[in-house]
Structure 1
Amino acid sequence: MSDSSQLVWSKVLDLDELPEGRVKTVTAGHTSLAMTHYQGKYTALENRCPHQGGPLGEGSIEKGWLRCPWHGWDYCPHTGKPPGGFEDGVAVFTTEIREDGVYVGLEPEAPRVRTVSDVMVETMTNWGVRHVFGMVGHSNLGFADAMREAEEAGKLTFIGIRHEGAAAFAASAYAKLTGKPAACFAIAGPGATNLLTGLWDAKVDRAPVLALTGQVDTQVLGPGAFQEVDLSTAFRGVAAWSQTVLHTSKPAELMNLALKNALLKRDVAHLILPNEVQELPAGERPASGPQGRITELQITPPADALQAAVEKVQAAKRPVIIVGHGARFNMDTITQLAEKLNAPVVTTFKAKGQISDSHPLGCGVLGRSGTPVASWFMNECDLLLVFGASFSNHTGITPKKPIIQVDFDPMALGKFHKVELPVWGEIGVVARHLIEQVAAGQSEDQRQEVKQRWSIWREEKRRRLADDRGNGVNSASVFEAMTRLIPEDAVIACDVGNNTYSFGRYFECRRQSVLMSGYLGSIGFGYPAAIGAHCAAPERKTICVSGDGGFGQYLAEILTAVKYNMDITHILLNNNELGKISKEQRADDLDVWQTSLVNPNFAQFAENCGAFGIQVTTKDQLDDAIQRALDHKGPALVEVKTDVHLI
């Protein structure tokens, strides 16, 4: 019996809380207990059955015995001993009945032991990972506790989402915006597999992401334990690097390699964390970090290729620059080059906003989601200088013009067809070399022509503002209002569908950053991406643009935004239809089938979740509704009832 004066006492029950003949789970400090009330006596028992770990506090007292809820083994509610003289009982702890309740005395808790997970989390934060999006569950609790310690120390922020798919999309958006990795976190089995779509989004858009997944205990790997999935195989296609942390592993080194692969390859890295390994004592094993493990990626192009590029640019009279998403961190340099060359700049859809539409040389988006301004200048040029673009068929960069393609990835050069001059090098480095070596004033000044083409397109947009079939607001009006009202430094996360095509066509960017599921084109990306964007840049206003189909996939994540009071304004275009699919069916001369949607009142739904919600049914309501949502400090949703045919 312990000396009661040395015990730490915790009140676990009120005097009238636990009826006679019942058992209940209580907590004293960090210890879970099964509290019984039988024959007038309160007893605190160890809450874990020694056979399968069943929680005895969830059992019942039958015929004088406390029965385990998992496998029916019995224990005495007073002594913790089983019948029949067996020795596999549970511990009993000191209990006192006081005037204000029932107290349990426990030995002082031992200091928290530094674990393998602590080493890995410290290494992860040393590499600059500041946000983790995910769900805590039974097969990742050890690693979760290490992250809790890091969060309490101010080194990490954990965002608990409602679906693991949203965690991966949020991490992908964070990386697209910053170029730095965030992590997504899930349990074994279904939690891990739910990450896959968002991770594919990051992979194909070259965004560095760290995936952390729990796993069942190593002793039951193989025969098919509960929630066991072969995660090495499941993640083989999406992860550029994937490893399991074992008892004999060097945990800091594995985290080093994971983040090095994510950053240098601009890809997904994956660590599998078996349940019991997470809580192994780490002893004196140190954490690590990026020092001496990573280099700056300043690839200077081959001299011959650079000289050829200089000569071709020097000879061009109407050069046009096309920038893709891969050029997003080098736009200041590329803009300087454009100004020196008098070259119009057009963007891929993924790169929308990388140059302002109000810049004298900015020509908007090229391709299916683009403007006639961009396509005009591509068709009228005598040289295309392409930085960091993937040549997607949706973009439609013509192979009929002479092309100089610049990319850090040699496999991206001439990927789909021959280009006149592939240049391997870091985009900013190549652009600086061209600025230094190409003489100014050799090409035509196309600024006045850019102004004229924008004037023609803006007049067409003004005509479309008047379109009204009586079935909802037209898209041109929605994005005209957004163009005027959205803050210049906002981050805009776009979903997939007609709403996004209309955004590309009608919204005019100034200094906003735009995020989208580019190469994967995954519906549902928008709202989780807004969560990731808010975490990456909380000082900037975050805007989400989605349709009813996309938002319907991750409706519950508005609760995540409410929980963390995220300043996200959501512009939701609701036409009760998967409008893009209907359009494609018509284009293929097919019947429109299975694209109609049954929706709630999304504005009321937002209010029910604790956010600000407002519904717009006519064009004249747009400005007031959007401004009220923007002024709200926290999550807000503007539901606009739109006409599916006026996109």
Structure 2
Amino acid sequence: MGRIAAEALVDRLADWGVDTVFGLPGDGINGLMEGLRRARRRVRFVLVRHEEAAAFMATGYAKATGRLGVCFATSGPGAIHLLNGLYDAKMDHVPVLAVTGTQETSVLGTGYQQEVHLEHLFQDVAAYNLVVGNPTQLPGVVDIAVRTALARRGVAHLSVPNDIQVADADADPWQHVVPARPPVSSPVYLAPPGVPREADLLAAAEVLNAGRRVAVLAGAGALGARDEVLAVADVLGAPVIKTLPGKAVIPDDSPFAVGGIGLLGTRPGEQLIDECDTLLMVGTNFPYTEHLPEPARVRTVQIEADAARAGVRMPTEVPVIGDAKAGLAALLPLLDRKRDRAHLAKYRKAMERWRRDMAALEEPRRHPVAPQYVVGALNELAADDAILTCDSGTVATWAARHWTIRGDRQFFLSGNLATMAPGLPYAIAMQHAFPGRQVIAYVGDGGFAMLMADFLTAVQAKLPVTVVINNNNSLGQILWEQMVLGYPEHGVRYREPVADFAAWARACGAFGAKVSRGKDVARALKEALRHKGPALVDVDVDPDEPPMPGQVRYKQAKKFAEAFAKGQPRRATIATTLAKDRIQQFGKAGRSRKRGARG
């Protein structure tokens, strides 16, 4: 057999620098799998247990590397399974290419087995979406798909019929009037200019220089601009709020860092939003507008890469279109250094108090185990260049507050889609991308259970990922959301017995530890992190520990009380847990005051 069309497709991906494809075979992509086999010295295929995991892996790979993530899936149900992971890529603006199979061209439209019109199904998720109809067009449309995914920071989709996959790569049976021209030997992608217009920079500087209480809100778009964010914050005397996807923009122990805002934020972050008179938004399209300043009260400057997103969340006096790093570097010389540092000093002190409060909750003697302690212990033991992936749910709250960004640490989760289950697939993909770094998946029992089969994928690939499970035997975030709406919880706690995921890890041939006492947490984590291969620590944590907002508002407290009054089934244990939290915080504060008095 000569060179087939699928081989041309994979070769062109390799020309673009693609070295890893995540996927699951099926009869709809047998030709594509043959193309991967023939190109196996250039492109590694990672076999997964579920197509949703493949799409999450491609998305995680793109988030961590900044490069194109690629996933393959078969026709019909296989392609359908990709969608959740692909929407994660779309909504968090990372480049991913999905390649799927479909039925032979001769039977399309006949209701053939597993025939799903994928070009329609993927119409919303994909910025570029094509059913390939001619073998000769493949290298050219691969170029367009890849460029579109990179340029629009989103998803591209190619669906290749079975007969096209195995056809001669140069076949053009219809003899087009204008023959398809092969692309140039080396693919080219030119990123758009990153420096904003001078007039916009001057206008932005005028607003920021006039501000007396400036705040910076930095998101995932600023992850590569740490030095520039810190330099601008220093000149402006501005505390920096970080969105959760942008947690690694600056270190958490920076004198400018005040944590986040929203339900997973900090008290100083919320107070800063209420008190600032000028807001500089960098690389973020923060969706929770109720946690942003009142538009009439603040002047807003936004540095945004996509002109369509500028001013979407806040009326923006000066939208500045450009790359965060290049934009801040160009803005910096135009800013006047603020001599009054009282605004910044106030929030440094507020963050010191907040950190003491959070540390007080990391109490190893609590029973059931305090989830804050688990993350606190993990934070102390992990390397300074560790990568932490996180699921959605209460785990995101504990990670936001107790996982400290220091050194070259990174942090990834599903930001805008906020889906369950990406933590493990992200970690697998990132360990493939960074084999020399410590990669940790911090997940809930609900999210892990959805794609737990792919822990075996990590074992068989001998990937040293460490999985830490916050096992509260419930859908914890939904539980508390029901109560904040004023409803007693319903349908969110699983029955006994509590799952033992460590037994699954050991059955897979990996390290597995089940922990139910605080005194055993640190030892189990140390053993897992030292283990040469995949390791899993399943910790039974307090199911009644509430992820309280950084600053409780009257409406939230009122709804919480209503849920208690209507018959919240575990109100006694919840109240006891809340009381323990306050006692620990007051006790820690008292000990700190005594030490200060003695000093």
When normalised by structure 2's length, the TM-score is 0.85
Paired residues for 1:47-86 under 5 Å: none
Equivalent position SS for 1:311: helix
The match for 1:531 is 428
* Alignment check: 8 A CA contact 1:319 1:443 kept: no
Matched, 1:222 2:117: no
CA distance in 1, matches of 2:289, 2:478: 16
The match for 2:260 is 365
Matched, 1:611 2:500: no
- Which stretch shows the higher mean deviation, 562-571 or 579-588? 579-588
2:419 is aligned, of 501, 506, 522, to 522
CA distance in 2, matches of 1:290, 1:503: 46
Residues 563-584 of structure 1 show CA distances to partners (whole Å, capped at 9, x for unaligned) of: 1111111110111111111112
The match for 1:163 is 50
- Which stretch shows the higher mean deviation, 433-442 or 409-418? 433-442
* Alignment check: 8 A CA contact 2:302 2:316 kept: yes
Matched, 1:504 2:391: no
Matched, 1:349 2:244: yes
Paired residues for 1:448-467 under 5 Å: 448-466=345-363
Matched, 1:380 2:275: yes
CA distance in 2, matches of 1:342, 1:298: 29
The one-letter code sitting in structure 2 at the alignment partner of 1:265 is: R
Matched, 1:574 2:471: yes
CA distance in 1, matches of 2:127, 2:342: 45
Equivalent position SS for 1:308: helix
CA distance in 2, matches of 1:298, 1:610: 50
CA distance in 2, matches of 1:145, 1:251: 16
CA distance in 2, matches of 1:491, 1:322: 23
- Which stretch shows the higher mean deviation, 412-421 or 624-633? 412-421
The match for 2:536 is 637
**Which runs of 5 or more residues in structure 1 are unaligned?**
1-111
Write 1 or 2 for the structure with the bigger share of helix: 2
| Post-superposition offset of 1:283 | 4.2
CA distance in 2, matches of 1:375, 1:592: 27
Residues 177-230 of structure 1 show CA distances to partners (whole Å, capped at 9, x for unaligned) of: 122111111000000000011100100100100000011111111011111100
The match for 2:155 is 268
* Alignment check: 8 A CA contact 1:546 1:571 kept: yes
Equivalent position SS for 2:254: coil
1:646 is aligned, of 541, 545, 567, to 545
The match for 1:210 is 97
1:132 is aligned, of 13, 18, 21, to 21
The match for 2:206 is 311
Give the root-mean-square deviation of aligned CA atoms: 2.1
* Alignment check: 8 A CA contact 2:516 2:539 kept: yes
* Alignment check: 8 A CA contact 1:314 1:442 kept: no
* Alignment check: 8 A CA contact 1:315 1:442 kept: no
Equivalent position SS for 1:521: coil
| Post-superposition offset of 1:129 | 1.4
| Post-superposition offset of 1:380 | 3.2
CA distance in 2, matches of 1:149, 1:183: 17
Paired residues for 1:169-208 under 5 Å: 169-208=56-95
* Alignment check: 8 A CA contact 1:582 1:595 kept: yes
The match for 1:410 is 307
When normalised by structure 1's length, the TM-score is 0.79
| Post-superposition offset of 1:490 | 1.0
Paired residues for 1:415-434 under 5 Å: 415-434=312-331
Aligned length: 533
Matched, 1:548 2:445: yes
CA distance in 1, matches of 2:5, 2:257: 52
The one-letter code sitting in structure 2 at the alignment partner of 1:348 is: T
The match for 2:175 is none
CA distance in 2, matches of 1:288, 1:492: 40
C-alpha spacing 1:526/1:487, structure 2 compared with 1 (3 Å) = same
CA distance in 1, matches of 2:315, 2:127: 27
| Post-superposition offset of 1:485 | 1.0
The one-letter code sitting in structure 2 at the alignment partner of 1:378 is: I
Equivalent position SS for 2:265: coil
**Which runs of 5 or more residues in structure 2 are unaligned?**
172-179, 547-599
CA distance in 2, matches of 1:445, 1:253: 58
| Post-superposition offset of 1:442 | 4.7
The match for 1:14 is none
CA distance in 2, matches of 1:395, 1:131: 41
The one-letter code sitting in structure 2 at the alignment partner of 1:341 is: L
Residues 270-328 of structure 1 show CA distances to partners (whole Å, capped at 9, x for unaligned) of: 00011111111124999746957421222332332211111122222332211111211
Equivalent position SS for 2:209: helix
1:436 is aligned, of 310, 316, 333, to 333
* Alignment check: 8 A CA contact 2:195 2:330 kept: no
- Which stretch shows the higher mean deviation, 407-416 or 330-339? 330-339
Q: Percent identity?
A: 34
Paired residues for 1:24-35 under 5 Å: none
| Post-superposition offset of 1:439 | 3.2
The one-letter code sitting in structure 2 at the alignment partner of 1:492 is: L
Write 1 or 2 for the structure with the bigger share of strand: 1
C-alpha spacing 1:376/1:417, structure 2 compared with 1 (3 Å) = closer
C-alpha spacing 1:486/1:290, structure 2 compared with 1 (3 Å) = farther
| Post-superposition offset of 1:417 | 3.6
Matched, 1:620 2:507: no
* Alignment check: 8 A CA contact 2:143 2:187 kept: no
Comparing both chains, which one has the higher relative contact order based on Cα–Cα distances under 8 Å and sequence gaps of 6 or more?
2
| Post-superposition offset of 1:424 | 1.6
The match for 1:44 is none
Equivalent position SS for 2:537: strand
The one-letter code sitting in structure 1 at the alignment partner of 2:487 is: L
| Post-superposition offset of 1:231 | 0.5
CA distance in 2, matches of 1:555, 1:222: 37
The one-letter code sitting in structure 2 at the alignment partner of 1:501 is: T
The match for 1:234 is 121
CA distance in 2, matches of 1:375, 1:125: 47
